[in-house]
Structure 1
Amino acid sequence: MVQDNRSRIERIVETNATFLRVLAGPGTGKTYALTRRVARLFRDGAAPERMLVCTFTRTAARDLETELSHLGVEGVDKINTGTIHSFCFHLLAQSDDLELTGRVPRALLSFEECFLLEDLKGMGFGGIRDRRKRLQVFNAAWARLQTDDPGWPQDPVDRTFQLILLGWLRFHEAMLIGELVPETLRYLRDNPLSPYRRAFDHVLVDEYQDLNRAEQVLLDLLAEGGTLTVIGDEDQSIYSFKYAHREGISQFAIFHPNTHDEDLIECRRCPHIIVEMANELIATNGNRESRTLRVRPENPEGEVYVLQWRSIEEEAGGIAEFIRTRLDAGDIEAGRILVLAPRRQFGYAT
């Protein structure tokens, strides 16, 4: 790790800023910086049960838990670590909110969602894609834009949709997973004396660019009595379909005065050619922070092949043969191979 990157991580670890934003590209050590910041807070006397460390996906949450356990700091197991949705489920289960509103904390299964969308057919909510899209914005507390205030729907069609949707869910004694965040946000807004609004001295969030506006506002409420650290990368925002906006992290300082900014730009994971190609692609986006990902000199050069086949079947066979050749030569382990395809048919062809 070059001295410049090391000094950046040291500043991330040591700052006492109320609001800290870290813009970190892939493979730059953001998880390392986050866990070391947690260790430093411990060192300075922070109570682990008054810390919330969360991220968007279960996989990322498990990785965070593993990294924190490796710190070797007594009491680290008492930190509230997990996804935002798991935290919301716990909060709602501990309160009387669900019982008072007649809701049952049973997650709606994926196949049941298909029946839900079918039952909403012919009610003026458009085709299947329109209904699914409206369901996503319901899960985002009706905040379609980063500038929207999540809460009660303003559009008459949205209000009708919510009324019918909630009736369907109550009848089937279920909740949408995405509904947990808007429900928790509503609960905390309606209960300003709730102990959860003062439960944490430090809130740390990974992959902040993947959060929608409702999730961001919820974290602001949870952090209003302490510090808020967010880490992410606007160039890796891939959840726009659930109304996650890259502006959430790129404009963080606008909504959080006196934000302390740091960035991590040395990629320790990717080959040179991959970083070069990524920088060329990202540079075409003019609406972003001005920074360029650097590659560690000792990283491998890497290889990129651009090939074309006449059919999906030939392509699948060609890629399979390429992988077999590399495996037979001992160039790589099977567990380190990932094949991505834009269509399911490609997977069937293999």
Structure 2
Amino acid sequence: MERSPYCTQAAVHLIEGRAGTGKTSRLIGLAVDLLEGGAQPEELLLFAATPAAARALEGRLAAHLDAGAAPRVTTVPAFALALLGTPEAVAHTGRRGRVLLRFEENMLMEDLKTSGVAPRRLAEMVKFLSRSLVDLEPMEGSWFYDGQEEHVFSLMARHLRFREAYREGELPRAAWDYLSAVPEARAAASVGHVLVDDYQMLSRASQAVAGLLAASTLTVAGDPLARARGCEDYPAADGLEQLARANPDATGEHAGFSHLAAVITDAVNRFAQDEALGAVEPIPSRAGIVGTCEACAFARPEDELAGAVAMVAELIGAGGAPERIGVAAANRLWAGNLARALRARGIAVSAPTRASVAGDGRSLDTCKLARTVTLLRLTADENDPLALRSWCGFGDYLANSALASAVVEGRARLSLACGAIFEKEPGVLLAQEAEKADAALERAREIGGRLASVRGTALFRSACQAVGLGEAEVPTGIAQAVSEAGDDADAAALCRVIEGACTAATFDETGVRIGLPEDFIGQNLDAMVMAGLVNGLTLPRRYFDAAQMERDKRPALLAAEMAKTYLCAGKAKTSLRFTYFSEAPLATAESLQLKIHRVRLRDGERICEVRPSETIRAITGVYYHD
């Protein structure tokens, strides 16, 4: 019988409980007990579900310890990236410890189109293969459904090896493969005690990596109902069950009482009892504090926006600390509107937004930031295959993918000094693409000569000027990361900080927390305002349209949205408010893609009736029936 990836040599202890039952506090208590019992900080490793959750967990843990005595707290993908960047791992895998940025992912997809698979089918296939990777599927031989699947996976693997980089989602699987194949690496990376919060939000590969790293004890905390996605696209919600099944000697404890106010506990119980989440039994509150919970209806979107801002101002006016108040929005657009409105009221805001280096590589004018980053990569290493491939792809409708395929197959190679070099006479298409690549690389050599003598922010500004990127066009997160890198940072260091700004997002120390419901994973708050809860924003309009979503797929989407609402509601200790609006002008409703219940003509204006979200039906008692 095949050994389960959840089997571990460590003693396993599980902490299960619902939202608000103090699982994280219990996990912190066990970590403190280990340290006070003689364990050294380097013998402990704590994992959280997101970078923001890791930062919050680190702060809460540090409050119980002396300065400098805190163990490492991180996420599994971040740990995997650092592990895969070690010289031993680079030598074993042939890839550097770095992830593709958004524009580099887009260029990879252009290269995969040479497989001949239709673009939409190809995108779905890559998504399926990515999920299979983190689910620890064998990814070889008869496992593939057909030859086309195997061909696309093989093509993707070859292109990633050529780029010497990883897609962000495959990091835990790559770490699992490396640690499983190299016992010495596993021994070097292992620690005595591994503790994991929100275990059910990790991918199967991440859960397995945590077990591999634990030498003495593996302690995990989780809530099977909180099935929201953390920083990984494919969480294994059944991980707690699989871990217990694979380790029969595992011990466990169940947190059966809520630490939230009774009225909020009742609301969380109603969510948990909804059939979409499994209709589990309610739990009592032992908090002994007075709280508030209400669903607040407003007439129109602008009224709801103003109402949510007024609620936050009221909470702060009553003595609430801004960093202990959260505002969860239905989508990023709604969150942005709320953030601007709060700032206009003079209220500081903290939003965990990730920077992105994107742009349409087919036009040189729309990918200036991507070209800037690629110039930095070439300045750091003129033989960097990832940078050479990207630079040669800019400005071409097909990203010169035929040339890239020839390079991956060994029929050609790219050099900053010599351009495109072929083993034998190329065909017409390859010759045309090589001519464009030679011109691009000559331009890069010219720019590189000017960049070689500068460092730090001056280097970044020079690279921006070389491609015509204005200072105002640089995303705030990237500009801040470059500034913090210092004036002595070389090109390689600047590339690392830019990658960091694009792969991690955390809340600032001060300011009202604002984001999507899943951004509040691991946060410890007093008050929560959940805004924009109408059908169309959440759940999305496709849920209600049989032409866009089959009926048999709706329950899974409803359960996912309900889980996020349940999770977010459980972050409020004393005050929880849901806000929504009941009508909107037709033009506004269409632009927001709302689920329109009815349209009326009022004073010459078409007004749409909008219903509250299905995700708060347990609170409002309003259901959508189709």
Q: Which residue of 1 aligns with 2:487?
A: none
Structure 1 counterpart of 2:329, one-letter code: L
Q: How far 1:30 sits from its partner (Å)?
A: 2.1
Alignment of 1:327-342 (within 5 A): 330=317, 336-342=325-331
Q: How far 1:51 sits from its partner (Å)?
A: 1.8
SS of equivalent to 2:294: coil
Distance 1:331 1:141, change over 3 A: same
Q: How far 1:108 sits from its partner (Å)?
A: 1.0
Q: How far 1:112 sits from its partner (Å)?
A: 2.7
2:16/2:221 contact within 8 Å kept: yes
> Which of 296, 300, 303 does residue 293 from structure 2 map onto?
303
Aligned counterparts of 1:324 and 1:237: Cα–Cα separation in 2: 29
Structure 2 counterpart of 1:108, one-letter code: L
SS of equivalent to 2:115: coil
SS of equivalent to 1:305: strand
2:48/2:74 contact within 8 Å kept: yes
Is 1:234 aligned with 2:224?
yes
SS of equivalent to 2:212: helix
Is 1:117 aligned with 2:109?
yes
Moved over 4 A (4+): 124-130, 285-291, 331-335, 345-350
Alignment of 1:8-157 (within 5 A): 18-73=11-66, 76-77=69-70, 79-121=71-113, 123=115, 127-128=119-120, 131=123, 134-135=126-127, 137-138=129-130, 141=133, 143=135, 149-153=136-140, 154-155=143-144, 156-157=147-148
Distance 1:152 1:113, change over 3 A: same
Q: Can you list the C-alpha shifts for 1:47-84, whole angstroms capped at 9, x where unaligned? A: 3222221122111111222122222247624x232111
Q: Which residue of 2 aligns with 1:3?
A: none
> Which of 135, 146, 165 does residue 174 from structure 1 map onto?
165
Q: Which residue of 2 aligns with 1:323?
A: 308
Q: Can you list the C-alpha shifts for 1:200-252, whole angstroms capped at 9, x where unaligned? A: 221111110111211122222222x3211110111111139833222111343
Aligned counterparts of 2:24 and 2:162: Cα–Cα separation in 1: 43
Aligned counterparts of 2:184 and 2:160: Cα–Cα separation in 1: 29
Is 1:267 aligned with 2:254?
no
- Unaligned 5+ residue runs, structure 1? 1-16, 144-148
Aligned counterparts of 1:129 and 1:304: Cα–Cα separation in 2: 45
Q: How far 1:42 sits from its partner (Å)?
A: 1.8
Tell me the TM-score normalised to structure 1 length: 0.78
2:258/2:287 contact within 8 Å kept: no
Alignment of 1:204-219 (within 5 A): 204-219=195-210
Tell me the TM-score normalised to structure 2 length: 0.46
- Structure 1 or 2: larger strand share? 2
Aligned counterparts of 1:161 and 1:332: Cα–Cα separation in 2: 57
Per mean C-alpha deviation after superposition, the further-off stretch among 238-247 and 103-112 is 238-247
1:341/1:347 contact within 8 Å kept: no
Q: How many residue pairs end up in the alignment?
A: 321
Larger relative contact order, structure 1 or 2 (CA cutoff 8 Å, min sep 6): 1
Distance 1:82 1:339, change over 3 A: closer
Q: How far 1:139 sits from its partner (Å)?
A: 5.9
Aligned counterparts of 1:287 and 1:261: Cα–Cα separation in 2: 23
Q: How far 1:93 sits from its partner (Å)?
A: 2.2
Distance 1:227 1:343, change over 3 A: closer
Per mean C-alpha deviation after superposition, the further-off stretch among 96-105 and 27-36 is 96-105
Q: How far 1:20 sits from its partner (Å)?
A: 0.6
Distance 1:251 1:164, change over 3 A: same
Distance 1:27 1:345, change over 3 A: closer
Distance 1:188 1:298, change over 3 A: same
- Unaligned 5+ residue runs, structure 2? 1-9, 342-626
Distance 1:125 1:347, change over 3 A: farther
Structure 1 counterpart of 2:295, one-letter code: Y
Is 1:220 aligned with 2:205?
no
Q: Which residue of 1 aligns with 2:562?
A: none
Distance 1:267 1:122, change over 3 A: farther
2:83/2:175 contact within 8 Å kept: yes
Q: Which residue of 1 aligns with 2:187?
A: 196
Q: Which residue of 2 aligns with 1:6?
A: none
Q: Can you list the C-alpha shifts for 1:19-64, whole angstroms capped at 9, x where unaligned? A: 1111132232222211211121122222322222112211111122
Q: Can you list the C-alpha shifts for 1:316-342, whole angstroms capped at 9, x where unaligned? A: x11123135446653576662514125
Aligned counterparts of 1:100 and 1:19: Cα–Cα separation in 2: 30
If you compute each CA radius of gyration, which structure gives the higher value, 1 or 2? Answer: 2
SS of equivalent to 1:108: coil
